[in-house]
Amino acid sequence: MEKYFKDIENNTQELYKIATAARAKGLDPENTPSIVLAKNMPEKVEGLISTVAPQLKGKGMTKRIRDLEKKYGFLDWRISLILAEEIANEKFCKFKDEKEAMEIGIRAGFAYHTLGTVASPLEGFVELKIRKRKDGKKYMALFYSGPIRSAGGTGASVSVLIADYVRKQKGYEPYDPTEEEIKRYSTELYDYHDRITNLQYLPSPEEIEFLAKHIPVQIDGGPSEKIDVSNYKDLSRVE
């Protein structure tokens, strides 16, 4: 059995060399193979995140993940949180600014939680934005899109938890929603349920508004449908 897997690895490496040599001729849009080889989950996480942050590749992140797994156990949530914080603090490499460092940190922690196998950390969590509270202090807004579904409900919610942990560590203030912004959340959900498709679970307006009021980061994103929201339009801090 060991020989069987070794043969697979050797043959894959040989084919990868051929693909690398072919790409190096410069006849394709990219000069290297699009798919990154990965033997284990830490390498999958690094390979996934390095597509948007190539400076992270080979800088010690995979070793750090393995060390944390030895300490806390495989897939422990603390690993996602620590990894996100350390990348946000530029432990492994530098980024152009603090916002990018925090955004890549959130993506990496999210990628670890989802096993480095789904598109959610790159295409579901679209962007981190820094906005101003009513008192002028800064808070974090998370932008999501449709591919976040590939993470599942729990995985998607964990990305918010990771972002809030990074927020606390970096000293950003909690989101301070206005009454109109709170109502906008329940309006959007009920519009989607009534006018687009039935949600598997539809919380009550009171539950939605309680969450909107108390989640310390703003949840936002681009439009997913052509239908306008029925009420609470044109809010300056909602896209």
In 3D space, the residue among 194, 177, 193 whose CA is nearest the CA of residue 232 turns out to be 177
Query: Residue 232: what residue type?
Result: Y
**Half-sphere exposure (Cβ direction) of 222: Cα atoms closer than 13 Å:** 9
Q: Pairing relation of β-strands 138-144 and 125-132?
A: antiparallel
- pLDDT tens, position by position, for the chain (239 residues)? 888 988 998 898 899 899 999 999 888 888 888 777 788 899 999 999 998 999 999 999 999 999 999 999 999 999 999 999 999 999 999 999 999 999 999 999 999 999 998 999 999 999 999 999 999 999 999 999 999 999 998 999 999 999 999 999 999 999 999 999 999 999 999 999 999 989 889 999 999 999 999 999 999 998 888 899 999 999 999 98
Helix, strand or coil, per DSSP, at residue 4: helix
Domain residue spans of the chain: 7-34+42-176
Q: Record the pTM.
A: 0.89
Rounded to whole angstroms, the Cα distance separating 175 from 45 reads: 29
